[in-house]
Amino acid sequence: MIRIPCALSDGLRESEVVAEVQDAEGRPERVSVPRDFIVERDGKPWLPLSAWFWDQTDDVIHARLPVESHTGAHQITLKTSQIIQEKPCPR
């Protein structure tokens, strides 16, 4: 499990938020998740993700989004410097 910083905006329901994260190339991805899915750390919101591969050659992590993004993506590639790692990533 990893976490990535995100920007939040209101969702369609009060119990939901839209979390925006940046991929390794700086492109935004937005996902609608339950408000209580977001983790706060040092007063900042973080989106938990499931990492499935660490590419040591390019120093990036491939992760699964918790739900399909607004663009239809199910996965995201992140720089390792963007994340907080809770459990070791598969290599």
Domain ranges of the chain: 2-85
Residue 15 and residue 35 in contact, taking contact as beta carbons nearer than 8 Å: yes
User: pTM of the prediction?
Assistant: 0.86
Burial degree of 6 (CB within 10 A; 0-12, 13-18, 19+): buried
14-44: pLDDT as tens digits: 999 999 999 999 999 999 999 999 999 889 9
User: How far apart are alpha carbons 86 and 24 in whole angstroms?
Assistant: 19
75-85: pLDDT as tens digits: 999 999 988 87
Sign of torsion over alpha carbons 55, 33, 28, 5 = negative
Does residue 31 sit in helix, strand or coil?
strand
